[in-house]
Structure 1
Amino acid sequence: MAVQTRSDVGLTMILALVVLALSLLPLTPAYGVVVDDLYRATVPVSGGSDEELAEGYRQGLARVLVKVSGDRSVVNQDEVATVLEDAGSLVDGRQLRTSGDDSRELRLQFSRSGVNRALADAGARVWGMNRPLTLAWVAVQDGGDRGLLAETGESSEQGWSALLIDEADARGIPLALPPADRAGDRRLLSEVWGQFMGQVSRASSGLEHDLLAVVRISRLGSGWQASWLYEGAGIEQSRSVTAETPQTLVEEMVDNWASDLAGRYGVSGGAIESGPRVRLQLDGVDSPGAYAAAKRALAQLNPVKSVGAVAVTPDHIVFEVEYEGELSQLRQNIALEQRFRAQDGQQADREAGEDNDFRNLQQTLYYRWQQQAVVPPSGDEGG
């Protein structure tokens, strides 16, 4: 017969109270991805003179304003044009790099508050860092050949996949393609081509996504045509566009997606006060004291603005953490707290470094709580 100790009873009671409190909170959308590079841009420059850098600042800020607002036309507004002329004042960091062929690029970090304020002054919206993940099923027919785009894992890939991924990245839309093993499924290809959303939705079971896009691309005279269904989280879009080149076609399609998403999730720039949020799953919390200590430790980290429990199970607690700055900075601060141990491949991810990695980051971090941190022995012990 199992014996329940007083400590077990106390933990059970505190967890029950937390679960009850959570059940009374209003539900909020659970986005799949934190887009960590909204306020960063990389642009080509011809040199490092003041004039050349100023032009790079203008180009970089224009790209950031489009990503943050979700509106390509925002840069044509008179108020924004004035901001672009003084783009250097919003630069928080820069790096000028030269490649092997002597071409140069300027990597820029812009002020989050400055960009949001500029959009607010222009009456434009701001679409925050927490964004839904789109799973795109795309069938392309060129002449007699028809194929299904899939994730190859090759960042240098040329063709439709690269165009779609690059344009989605430029617009701040987290995008995933189906795994490579689906590319040869002829039945699935037919369902995507026929845009049978119900069947494609079933095929998407087990693949991470918040939204589904089912796209058909084909030749139209000397140009191209794309038609799509785009659904999920209150979005329902069915449209088609034509263009002379694949690049322009993809730009037009993704522009439609970004416009609808920003229209649903974007808010007035003046209303953006909270920072990005990330979920942190913490295993090994075995007492009310450990729960309180873990929450207190998170709250005391420099980038953290707020922290609260959003889910409790016998095995772990999930916190939602609101933070300032970059996700990589939050991880680095957590690493300084010895009671948090990264789970599985997370430590390797941190050691590989994320500062130069502009990929989308998954929203949940995984750690194990160790109440007793390992303290190195002092130098005068044993001697």
Structure 2
Amino acid sequence: MRKYWVRLLLLFTLFCCSVFTSAATVRDLHNVRVPVLDQSEASRTDAIGGAFQQVLIKVSGTRDVLDNAVLMGEQAKAKSYISSLRYERDATNQLQLSVTFMSAPLQVLLESADAPIWGASRPLTQLWIAENTGEERAVVGVDNKLWYHELQMAMDARGLPVIFPTWDLEDEMALPVASLWGLFEQDIERAVDRYASDGYAAGRIIQIGNEFNFSGYLTYSKSREIIDVSAASIPLLANQIAGSIAESLSDRYAVVALKGVDSGYVLRVSGVQGFSSYRALMDYLSAHVGVREARLVKAEGDTLTLALELTGSWQQVWDVLALDQKLIRSDTPGLYAWQP
């Protein structure tokens, strides 16, 4: 009997890990760091321009913003968007300028430029990567300091929450390096199930002459996208991998303001118990980049009817809200359950 309950508990735990989404909140979404030669005014001015471009990419999720005339026209005024800046040194003693931008003005700017806006609540991605740039094939985890460090920095720069496998005995048995190198999907998916996340990227890195190549794929919501990128250095390849993931996820989750169309949506939410619960719901919705305003229309017991003014479509907004698992869609159309 005891073994039965232990097995039941284990199955329930694995079910929870594999079913529930695991969106993460990106800290310092509006902060970027750029290298500088010195602390002179000329170096600082150049760095601020570069930081402005980086934060636009990070907040929108796409490098397409660099081709947006409205946004690039504001680069000369980048200082007016800055909240704070300071000099610091990284692990290699490289001098950097850390720049934090104000979120509200940036959001207004992106919206006015018809550019996508990707909020701080973002999907969590597992990274299953093998590399053969040394003497033998190896997995990329915390013990693989070179690739782990470069990939983590690249993901942070694009505002991507990621987790690497621990590569303990359980992982090694579930997915030998040969299986990962061969990109055997069934083996990879069995290993992925151990960790709670919203999707995963798997691939292999190889050095060919003076060039580094990554070939693999990104899987989210049963969709699969091939990633095949090359670069002349390890940091550049890490940036290419992060860029491919960011562009794909931004296309799915970022909100683009719609103009000239009805932006209203009526939302019914059950499970709102008392004023504090109501306040938490309204604050949660209002904080979403796709919601301009949330207004109470009617209250019936613990069920509220809300009028939302959106910057984009409800489907765009819901795709992101669903990651947090605070609003649960019911079987009744238009009705959601509040689970703070």
- What range is the shorter-chain TM-score in? 0.5 to 0.7
The one-character-per-residue Cα deviations of 1:200-235 (angstroms, maximum 9, x if unpaired) are: 111122312111111111122332221112102254
Counterpart for residue 24 of structure 1: none
3-state SS of paired residue (1:135): strand
Alpha carbons of 1:324 and 1:256: their partners in 2 closer, same or farther (altered >3 Å)? closer
3-state SS of paired residue (2:200): strand
Counterpart for residue 307 of structure 2: none
Counterparts of 1:200 and 1:220, CA distance in 2: 25
Unaligned runs of 5+ in 1: 1-28, 272-287, 308-319, 326-362, 366-383
Of 122, 129, 152, the residue aligned with 1:165 is 152
Identify the range of structure 1 (159-168 vs 239-248) with the bigger mean alpha-carbon deviation. Answer: 239-248
3-state SS of paired residue (1:43): strand
Kept in 1, the 8 Å contact 2:22–2:196? The answer is no
The one-character-per-residue Cα deviations of 1:317-370 (angstroms, maximum 9, x if unpaired) are: xxx676599xxxxxxxxxxxxxxxxxxxxxxxxxxxxxxxxxxxxx799xxxxx
Alpha carbons of 1:186 and 1:71: their partners in 2 closer, same or farther (altered >3 Å)? same
Counterparts of 1:178 and 1:98, CA distance in 2: 29
Of 28, 36, 50, the residue aligned with 1:37 is 28
Matches within 5 A, 1:118-137: 118-137=109-128
Say how many residue pairs are matched.
Answer: 262
Matches within 5 A, 1:297-336: 299=279, 306=282, 323=287
Counterpart for residue 230 of structure 2: 242
Counterparts of 1:227 and 1:172, CA distance in 2: 22
Of 53, 72, 75, the residue aligned with 2:44 is 53
- Identity over aligned residues, as a percent? 23
Displacement of 1:141: 1.4
Counterparts of 1:143 and 1:252, CA distance in 2: 20
Kept in 1, the 8 Å contact 2:141–2:148? The answer is yes
Counterpart for residue 218 of structure 1: 206
Counterparts of 1:248 and 1:48, CA distance in 2: 26
Kept in 2, the 8 Å contact 1:217–1:225? The answer is yes
3-state SS of paired residue (2:160): coil
Counterparts of 1:99 and 1:254, CA distance in 2: 20
One-letter amino acid of the structure 2 residue matched with residue 295 of structure 1: S
Displacement of 1:144: 4.8
One-letter amino acid of the structure 2 residue matched with residue 229 of structure 1: Y
3-state SS of paired residue (1:259): helix
Counterparts of 2:238 and 2:90, CA distance in 1: 28
TM-score of the two chains, using structure 1 as the length reference: 0.59
3-state SS of paired residue (1:268): coil
Kept in 1, the 8 Å contact 2:119–2:254? The answer is yes
Matches within 5 A, 1:122-201: 122-142=113-133, 144-152=135-143, 158-182=145-169, 185=173, 187-201=175-189
The one-character-per-residue Cα deviations of 1:227-260 (angstroms, maximum 9, x if unpaired) are: 1121022542123222222222222222111111
3-state SS of paired residue (1:227): strand
Matches within 5 A, 1:58-73: 58-73=49-64
1:259 and 2:247 correspond: yes
Identify the range of structure 1 (159-168 vs 262-271) with the bigger mean alpha-carbon deviation. Answer: 262-271
Counterparts of 1:101 and 1:248, CA distance in 2: 17
3-state SS of paired residue (1:168): helix
3-state SS of paired residue (2:114): coil
Kept in 1, the 8 Å contact 2:125–2:200? The answer is yes
One-letter amino acid of the structure 2 residue matched with residue 236 of structure 1: R
Displacement of 1:98: 7.0
Kept in 1, the 8 Å contact 2:21–2:196? The answer is no
Higher Cα radius of gyration: 1
Counterpart for residue 292 of structure 1: 274
TM-score of the two chains, using structure 2 as the length reference: 0.66
